[in-house]
Amino acid sequence: MPDAAVAARSSESTNSGTTQQVDVAVVGAGFAGLYLLHRLREAGFSTVVVEEAGDVGGTWYWNRYPGARCDIQTIDYGYTFDPELDRAWTWSEKYATQPEILRYFGFVADRYDLRRDIRFNTRVKAANWDDTSGRWQLVTDSGADVSCRYYIMATGCLSAPKPPEIDGVADFKGEIYFTGRWPHDEVKLAGKRVAVIGTGSSGIQSIPLIAEQAAQLTVFQRTPNFALPAHNGPAPDDRKTYFETDRAAYREQARWSLAGVPYPQEMAVSWQLNDAERRERFEKAWAAGDLVHILTQLWADQAVDFDGNALIGKLIHEKIRSVVKDPGIAAALSPHDHPFGAKRPCLDTNYYATYNRPNVTLVNLREEPITEITATGVKAGERTFDVDVIVFATGFDAMTGAIKAVYPITGRGGKSLSDVWANGPQTYLGLTVSGFPNLFMITGPGSPSVLSNMAVSIEQHVDWVVDRLAALRDAGFTTIDATETAQAGWAQHMADCSMLTLHRLANTWYTGANVPGKVQGLMPYTGGVGPYRSICNEIVSRGMLGFKLTGPNVAEQCNDGEVVRLQPDVRLVLGMLAEMNLPPIESMGALGARDFLTEFNKGRPAGRPVGEVGTGALMGADGPLPYRLYRPATPGPHPIVVYFHGGGWVLGDEQSDDPFCRDICRRSGMIVVSVGYRHAPEHRFPAAAEDGYAATRWIAEHAAELGGRPGPVLVAGWSAGGNIAAVTCQLARDRGGPQIAGQLLICPVTDCTFDRPSYTDNATGYFVTRSLMYWFWDIYCSPADRTDPRVSPLRGNLAGLPPAFVATCEFDPLRDEGIAYAEALATAGGSVEQLQARGHFHSSLMMVDVVITGVSGRVKMAEALRGFAGLPRKLEASGEGTSPITVNAAAG
């Protein structure tokens, strides 16, 4: 019998004790549950929503503490699916109060007549998948149990309050309140001695208002948090005007943005701005009173680079000192243990100023930890604080707490979700779990959820899920289950994304660190709302990639695989390049391609300062060649790295890899001399190879003049430059010098055959294409010369060469010949270190300050160079300088 028909027959069963049959059961009547109900009804699915609370609103039903407000501007914090609804509701303030938000949900529920399908005051206790019927059986604590084809948890990320893990709470004889379960009746605090434990968003919002009422307020702070003044009032004109000018465009920009609020991607990095410029930006953000603004619009590296981030912390510390009169209290309130934004910052109204009040005391639990709660108050350190009321603003078992509160949830083969998640939540997209067919979570762990404007993420999730359910039904499928491969791929992608930002560097509820004993790991998706949306769309366009679909009368469909195999920032860069729709470089002609490269390079970040950049001329194989020298800021003499740029022996010059040369100079603490060797077609093989060798010899002979350390030099190169570096080592060995201490080969060309798998696997789509490589080879070298080791070093004698570091990229036609060269060097008895950069393409390790996941690869390169030169591998360990650049990301 069709699900809807079953449902129609059983609609009166709610209180009869028999099982209620529906197509879809939704748990939770908050933001997500209400929209789900509306969409599912529209799509023709019989639906019941089960809600523990007495009315709609989700988190806003429970969080009624003084000062509770949203901290995303109301203009962005609402449903957008219906422009009429959008127009029918006007918020009274920039940040609405909890009662107003609750009124909004009531308004939405009335407008779409939602309450008639919501079972309030009912909790789902357990959920079990029945493989035979292909349905979920939900056990409820009142009324009928529910049988449903699809079970959707819209239980929210911050809805399961964390129990206070402090001894003696039960002994306390006064009043106890939790911000996350605040009473519906008025709580009278006037004239009372109140303790607030916790200084997250809930504490920071409530403390100023509690201080106004209470006779005495004692705040127990474990970790100071960053708070920004909300400057609440009417919606700001700039946002309103932008919104009113083109509402649809505004909403669409939000949907494709990183955080779900329409702000552009900031491009200027912190070190390109001077102090005054940075301060101006900061003051503007401080005055704007907008978390998304201050979290995204200061400078491009604020969320990804520790140093760029630390600048903000210092500026906020200044603000705290300017408000809080007692310097000791100001210091205690100033966060020092986490990067700004790595822990959820707060919006406040008069928070810091509250500590100037005579009736407010701050207890720093880092110095005086709470030992117990007694019948009369709180003991911290050596002191006892007698109070009448304790407010626990201690937060939530976030992201997983409300899901796991339904216990057990058993999937295929009786597997329990708690067991499957014993080592941390595993999901595909944060929406599904392999082995739990037809179960969906809205904003589950693995979705952008709490790192985004929840309104935007929820709408996207709901639309995606309901559209999929409708498509399944139309195709005759009745079950959908994520594959293990897809889920493992998502976990890898999550881990890759987490290396991009600084969230992993703080102990927070994002990582589960706030709940004793909880497995720790970053739970929200840090890749951004727009990229996440594009991935979800890609899954559909690739035939429900990563899902197994079955139905009674259709053939099973399983399109297995991982949706994202590129590093997240590499994916973005390739996406941007694809959008530019550039003509193939080989169609431009050599001169045109050089002009194109020059123009193209103008758009990249400029590269960071080094001690000195100089230019000069050196003697090549057939005359002078230009060079560019990068000197560290530390006192010399430094070892010298002779560097050969990439460009297929045709393009580029001594400046074209400038950001990379700066980066390697800074990270290695060595002089880098980039050589302007001759190019084809003007100078064909073996001009580049011979120039490389001659330049290396000249530099070695003139090391002292260049300010370098006399003795062996090092060689390095990327792509065709890697080819020249490798060839130079062979020539130096065969021609009696110069002495070379080590070779760094990045994605090198090493051989003239094109039949290795990487040439086919990565023939197109990764910027450097197979046909571009053919073109380079044709311009540089006639077929008769191609087996000469001076262009195919893999065919040369590989014994007795300097130690090597060979970096290759997974999505590069040249990958396999680079690996082959590394292996052949090792076979020949050489010392070789390999970096096979997972998820990178030919150029991405070179994209300094663009592809952050390339940083750790370049750190390893620099360490290898230092090792070759006989220096401590880590620059910091050598005492030559302190923290030249923050290491914050990983390449494979």
Binding residues for ligand N01 (CB under 6 A): 69-71, 158, 164-166, 179, 197-203, 205, 222-223, 344, 365, 370, 393-396, 450, 509, 514
33 closest CA partner among 398, 459, 647: 459
Beta strands in 381-462 (DSSP E): 383-386, 389-392, 409-410, 439-441
CA distances from 53 to 49, 58, 123, 392, 511 (A): 12, 8, 9, 21, 27
Measured from the CB atom, the residue of 399 and 869 that comes closer to ligand N01 is 399
In this structure, how many other beta carbons lie within 10 angstroms of the beta carbon of residue 355?
A: 23
Measured from the CB atom, the residue of 164 and 236 that comes closer to ligand N01 is 164
The CB-nearest residue to ligand N01 is 200
Task: State the nearest-atom distance from the C-beta of 63 to ligand N01, in Å.
Answer: 6
What is the C-alpha radius of gyration for the chain, rounded to an integer number of angstroms? 31
Task: State the nearest-atom distance from the C-beta of 200 to ligand N01, in Å.
Answer: 2
Measured from the CB atom, the residue of 21 and 73 that comes closer to ligand N01 is 73
CA distances from 133 to 125, 129, 435, 439 (A): 21, 9, 16, 15
The letter for the amino acid at 470 is A
Measured from the CB atom, the residue of 293 and 571 that comes closer to ligand N01 is 293
Task: State the nearest-atom distance from the C-beta of 518 to ligand N01, in Å.
Answer: 12
Task: State the nearest-atom distance from the C-beta of 334 to ligand N01, in Å.
Answer: 14
Task: State the nearest-atom distance from the C-beta of 495 to ligand N01, in Å.
Answer: 23
Measured from the CB atom, the residue of 398 and 814 that comes closer to ligand N01 is 398
Measured from the CB atom, the residue of 393 and 590 that comes closer to ligand N01 is 393
* Neighbouring-strand partners of residue 175: 389
Measured from the CB atom, the residue of 220 and 775 that comes closer to ligand N01 is 220
Measured from the CB atom, the residue of 198 and 425 that comes closer to ligand N01 is 198
Runs of H (alpha helix) within 334-481 = 351-354, 401-404, 417-420, 454-475
Measured from the CB atom, the residue of 145 and 372 that comes closer to ligand N01 is 372
Locate 345 and state its tokens.
Answer: 């910052």
Peptide bond just before 748 cis, omega within 30 deg? no
Task: State the nearest-atom distance from the C-beta of 667 to ligand N01, in Å.
Answer: 34
Task: State the nearest-atom distance from the C-beta of 447 to ligand N01, in Å.
Answer: 15
- Reduce the secondary structure of 645-690 to three states and give it as a string: CCCCCCCCCCCCCHHHHHHHHHHHCCEEEEECCCCCCCCCCCHHHH
What is the number of residues in the chain? 892
Cα dihedral sign, 507-511-515-518:
negative
CA distances from 397 to 98, 161, 455, 523 (A): 21, 6, 21, 12
Task: State the nearest-atom distance from the C-beta of 450 to ligand N01, in Å.
Answer: 6
Task: State the nearest-atom distance from the C-beta of 553 to ligand N01, in Å.
Answer: 46
136 closest CA partner among 123, 152, 122: 152
Backbone dihedral angles phi then psi of residue 362, each to the nearest 5 degrees? -105, 130
Measured from the CB atom, the residue of 347 and 699 that comes closer to ligand N01 is 347
Measured from the CB atom, the residue of 312 and 472 that comes closer to ligand N01 is 312
Q: Are 447 and 156 in contact (CB under 8 A)?
A: no
Residue in the block written with tokens 């410029």:
277
136-163: b (≥16 Cβ within 10 Å) or e: bbbebeebbbbbbbbbbbbbbbbbbbbe
